[in-house]
Structure 1
């Protein structure tokens, strides 16, 4: 499974990259705003700064909602860096834009997927990734993980090359369940990735090893 970090924070992106686990980044207008990034020139420069940290797969989302405007904006975003994946919303003009951009060899990520039918449409249009939002489905009492399983089955039935990018991943259970299902990618906040390393028995075992080492060193010093 690929790990993407869902943030616009350069510090968090660098942290995940330095851990050696990072395969990509997803962003959106809300995450940009959270970092105080506004204005077209500043946003474009920030995307470039992200690309300079990671090796590939930086999803940059269009703001436009009409076909012509999404095409124009998508081409601008793709021109920033070869690592850019143009993020397009699941609307009818978005599907058309995905088809156009994919035909130009530009990778796309269809976002705001909440049904298997939406995922199938995006895949048929040539999307590189589809992003089902499992946490938001859970919020309204739908099973977000079941959606991942449905999309996985459909894509495998027809050998579709589109990758399933699990989005709105809230915690490690979400992440691990997506991995069990066989999703291609999970995008998460930094805290979800770092939580994977935590286990009380690991902490207890390390403390015991260090204590035993300390006692052995003290004994050796006495004997000397």
Structure 2
């Protein structure tokens, strides 16, 4: 499963990239606004930090014409950009056209299996299914992931299911169990994937024993 960080903060992307396991970055208008920098400059700097990764940048237009115009512009900035398009009738129509032009699309704000099916039919490269927000309305976000993964597999769609709105590490574990292709998460959740109290205890014990024995690697 590919791991993405969901952020508009360049410093978080740089830190995650240093670990050597980051496959991509997802942004959205809210995350970019919170970062307090220009949209294009932020996206291009992220692209430069992860030149071989997949960087999702979102349109804000709501008509087919505006989505196409903005999508073409954003895609022209760097070859590793994937254009994020909202799950609406206009978004579906625009996605179909963008994919015909060779522009990769990340269809966002997907909350149901039927929406995932439409995104796959339209040729979306990524289908961003939101688990946390579905859970918030007393439904089962992971059931939607399961259904989306199955329908993509059943019909051989080229789309990949991207698990979004991740709130904690168990969302990542459950997504992996279900065979989701990608998980994108806030930087703090990415950090939590490393953490376990027994790791900390074990490392401290090893180092204490080593130091007490006066051992060295380099003589």
TM bucket (normalised to shorter chain) is over 0.9
Alignment of 1:43 onto 2:43: no
Match of 1:95 among 92, 97, 101: 92
Aligned residues: 214
2:182 maps to what in 1? 185
1:150 maps to what in 2? 147
Instruction: Write the distance in 2 (CA, Å) between the matches of 1:5 and 1:197.
Output: 14
Instruction: Write the distance in 2 (CA, Å) between the matches of 1:30 and 1:184.
Output: 24
Cα shift at 1:56:
2.1
Instruction: Write the distance in 2 (CA, Å) between the matches of 1:198 and 1:59.
Output: 27
Runs of 4+ aligned structure 1 residues displaced above 6 Å come to none
Match of 1:60 among 57, 60, 69: 57
Q: Which runs of 5+ in 1 are unaligned?
A: 219-224
Q: Which moved more, 1:92-101 or 1:187-196?
A: 187-196
Match of 2:128 among 125, 131, 148: 131
Q: Give a deviation string over 1:104-153, Cα, whole Å, max 9, x none.
A: 01000000000000010010010000001000000111100010001111
1:221 maps to what in 2? none
SS in 2 for 1:131: strand
Instruction: Write the distance in 2 (CA, Å) between the matches of 1:213 and 1:155.
Output: 52
TM-align CA RMSD: 0.9
Instruction: Write the distance in 2 (CA, Å) between the matches of 1:202 and 1:186.
Output: 24
List aligned pairs for 1:4-15, cutoff 5 A.
4-15=4-15
Alignment of 1:26 onto 2:22: no
Q: Which runs of 5+ in 2 are unaligned?
A: none
Instruction: Write the distance in 1 (CA, Å) between the matches of 2:44 and 2:213.
Output: 52
1:85 maps to what in 2? 82
Instruction: Write the distance in 1 (CA, Å) between the matches of 2:44 and 2:195.
Output: 33
TM score, norm. by length of structure 1 = 0.94
Instruction: Write the distance in 1 (CA, Å) between the matches of 2:198 and 2:35.
Output: 36
SS in 1 for 2:214: helix
Cα shift at 1:46:
1.5
Cα shift at 1:4:
0.7
